[in-house]
């Protein structure tokens, strides 16, 4: 079976530190650069699953790179180069302590809250009489706090963000403008692929007084997509939408008795399950990007990354 990269232990030239996230390894190079490795780890319900998914990191990194390049005219972003299929080199920014969630449709946690009687999300009013997966009159922004490792993100309103001084009023207004413009571009690009960009999240940071878009963008790990074909018919019939996201992983876990709750055990991930998840990610990659997936050499992934990144650093 194809190997998966689940952790790295690399020392790059001029490296200062390394941070191990749920999925990504972030190496600080000098004072102003980050090397971000998208590993093949996979998480669900805020739990890192015990097995990696071959090529997942490469697919997410390449989708993110594509959309970062396609939106650079809207907003400056942190990406400088992709020296390896699983790596992005970028500008080191001071991240804002919030994530900008934008929703075009009523689904997921927003729908569950709506069903329980809530008529606003993060201070944003929601009309009465809406159906699950129905489109909002216009996209809404529902920010969350950016939680510390091991903690859950929490919804927060624009007013609370400003009252707590998490972001200045001027900066927050710019973040809102960028968020809506990026979502509009993502919606247009998805439509060209026969998809609906349902909701997504953006992370921003500041470097030398300039706001930058950071991290991944419009990947199936950070976004939800519906297929355009059949959307209206399913909506009218009250049926679930055919979607493109990693929701299928959560569904498999729930079907096997795991929702991340205390005392629950992650079900065994057999080689067949791992292979099926990898193949599903390839389907997502090709549908979202419009490109045929080309697997990179996986004989010794860590050595390949170390060689490619150090060669890139020597060119600077």
Predicted local confidence at residue 220, as pLDDT:
87
Is 143 contained in some domain? yes
4 within 8 A of 48, measured Cβ to Cβ: no
Q: How far is Cα 120 from Cα 110, in angstroms, rounded to an integer? A: 9
Do residue 99 and residue 51 come from a single domain? no
Is 166 contained in some domain? yes
Domain with residue 184: its CATH number is: 3.30.470.20
Q: How far is Cα 139 from Cα 158, in angstroms, rounded to an integer? A: 15
DSSP helix/strand/coil, 20: strand
Is 258 contained in some domain? no
Predicted local confidence at residue 147, as pLDDT:
64
Predicted local confidence at residue 149, as pLDDT:
52
214 within 8 A of 225, measured Cβ to Cβ: no
Total domains in the fold of the chain: 2
Is 216 contained in some domain? yes
Q: How far is Cα 280 from Cα 246, in angstroms, rounded to an integer? A: 9
Do residue 215 and residue 286 come from a single domain? no
Stretches in the chain below the pLDDT threshold 70: 1, 147-152
Do residue 114 and residue 67 come from a single domain? no
Do residue 65 and residue 115 come from a single domain? no
Residue 62 CA, distance from chain mean position: 12
Is 256 contained in some domain? no
Is 120 contained in some domain? yes
Region of 247 (left: φ > 0; alpha: ψ -120 to 50; beta: rest) is alpha
Give per-residue pLDDT as tens, 99-136. 999 999 999 889 989 999 999 999 999 999 999 999 99
What is the pTM (predicted TM-score) of this model?
Answer: 0.91
Predicted local confidence at residue 108, as pLDDT:
86
Is 222 contained in some domain? yes
Predicted local confidence at residue 275, as pLDDT:
93
DSSP helix/strand/coil, 185: helix
Domain with residue 277: its CATH number is: 3.30.200.20
Q: Which domain holds residue 122?
A: 95-244
Do residue 209 and residue 103 come from a single domain? yes
Do residue 232 and residue 104 come from a single domain? yes
42 within 8 A of 53, measured Cβ to Cβ: yes
Do residue 114 and residue 197 come from a single domain? yes
Is 3 contained in some domain? no
Q: Show Cβ contacts of residue 67 under 8 Å, excluding neighbours closer than 6 positions.
A: 186, 189, 217, 218, 219
Predicted local confidence at residue 152, as pLDDT:
62
């Amino acid at each position: 079976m194809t190997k998966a990269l689940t952790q790295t232990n690399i020392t790059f030239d001029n490296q200062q530190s390394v941070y191990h996230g749920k999925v990504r390894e972030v190496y600080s190079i000098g004072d102003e650069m980050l090397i971000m490795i998208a590993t093949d780890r996979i998480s669900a319900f805020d739990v890192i699953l015990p097995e990696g998914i071959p090529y997942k990191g490469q697919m997410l990194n390449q989708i993110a790179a594509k959309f970062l390049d396609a939106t650079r005219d809207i907003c400056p972003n942190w990406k400088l180069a992709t020296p390896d299929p699983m790596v992005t080199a970028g500008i080191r920014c001071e991240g804002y302590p919030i994530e900008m969630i934008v929703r075009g449709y009523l689904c997921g946690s927003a729908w569950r809250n709506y069903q329980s009687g809530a008529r606003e999300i993060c201070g944003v009013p929601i009309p009465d009489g809406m159906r699950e997966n129905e489109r909002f009159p216009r996209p809404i922004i529902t920010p969350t706090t950016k939680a510390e490792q091991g903690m859950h993100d929490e919804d927060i309103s624009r007013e609370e963000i400003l009252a707590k001084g998490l972001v200045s009023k001027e900066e927050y207004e710019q973040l809102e403008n960028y968020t809506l413009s990026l979502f509009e571009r993502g919606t247009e690009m998805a439509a060209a692929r026969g998809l609906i960009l349902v909701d997504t999240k953006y992370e921003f940071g500041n470097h030398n007084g300039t706001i930058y878009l950071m991290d991944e963008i419009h990947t199936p790990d950070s976004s939800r997509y519906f297929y355009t074909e059949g959307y209206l018919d399913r909506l009218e019939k009250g049926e679930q939408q055919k979607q493109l996201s990693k929701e299928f992983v959560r569904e498999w876990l729930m079907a096997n008795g795991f929702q991340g709750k205390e005392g629950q055990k992650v079900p065994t991930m057999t080689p067949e399950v791992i292979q099926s998840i990898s193949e599903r990610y390839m389907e997502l990659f090709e549908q979202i990007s419009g490109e045929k997936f080309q697997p990179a050499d996986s004989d010794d992934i860590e050595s390949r990354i170390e060689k490619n990144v150090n060669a890139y650093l020597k060119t600077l």
